[in-house]
Chains A and B, each alone.
Chain A
């Protein structure tokens, strides 16, 4: 079956513009994560969706960042008024969400470059 799909794979934007990044999780996965990874660095947690629960937004770095998940499936990460420090790879992962099966499956990521 299909894995986690992210689009676009690459995005170049000008400072101050808004961008939307999309994540299509594996069908049936109730949990969805967004991470940010700067070059050579670890995974920075951004936001976590689990079923119908309120999302865990504790990792969002500023109010310029927001995310939603419609119908428990597709998720969109929006960055408003982009800054150069937002340049990074944004990774999405989905998981079945069960305690014994909360393995994360990652998409290939979106490489964001803010000029």
Chain B
């Protein structure tokens, strides 16, 4: 079935190192969203990308939407311990039914 996969599943980095998670869909997405879930918390919306090839930045976070609108990436520059958590991408695979499907998530651990 239609799904959204993320790699890697887990990532451990030393504080100050960069981190990237990749999101891949089996079908074209209307848009892509990114969420962060802190340990013990619930997912919180970070950003939404809509246009093919779109790039958005939030401080140390850079988000990209692929040209074919089937993949996306989140890059964190110079990670900090506050970046710890699980990052989910989510996209509309429903072709207009507006049902958002979450990716499998990437769990980031930052070693101080």
Contact = CB atoms under 8 A, between A and B. Distances in A.
Given A42-B88, A42-B105, A43-B105, A102 B43 contact: no
Contact of A50 (B45, B99, B102, B103): B99
B109 to A, nearest CB: 12
Contacts of A12: none
Nearest to A56: B99
Given A99-B92, A100-B50, A103-B33, A43 B98 contact: no
Contact of B42 (A40, A53, A103, A109): A109
Interface residues of A, number: 26
Interface in A49-81: 50, 53, 56
Contact of B101 (A45, A99, A109): A45
Nearest to A92: B42
Interface in B33-63: 33, 35, 42-45, 48, 50
A98 B101 contact: no
B102 A43 contact: yes
A42 B102 contact: yes
B11 to A, nearest CB: 15
Q: Which 10 residue pairs spanning A and B have beta carbons closest together? A: A106-B42, A42-B105, A43-B102, A103-B45, A42-B104, A102-B98, A48-B99, A106-B43, A102-B100, A99-B98
Interface of B: 30-31, 33, 35, 42-45, 48, 50, 86, 88, 90, 92, 96-105, 107
Interface of A: 31, 33, 35, 40, 42-43, 45, 48, 50, 53, 56, 91, 93, 95, 97-100, 102-109
Given A42-B104, A50-B97, A99-B92, 6 more contacts: A50-B99, A95-B98, A99-B96, A99-B98, A103-B33, A106-B43
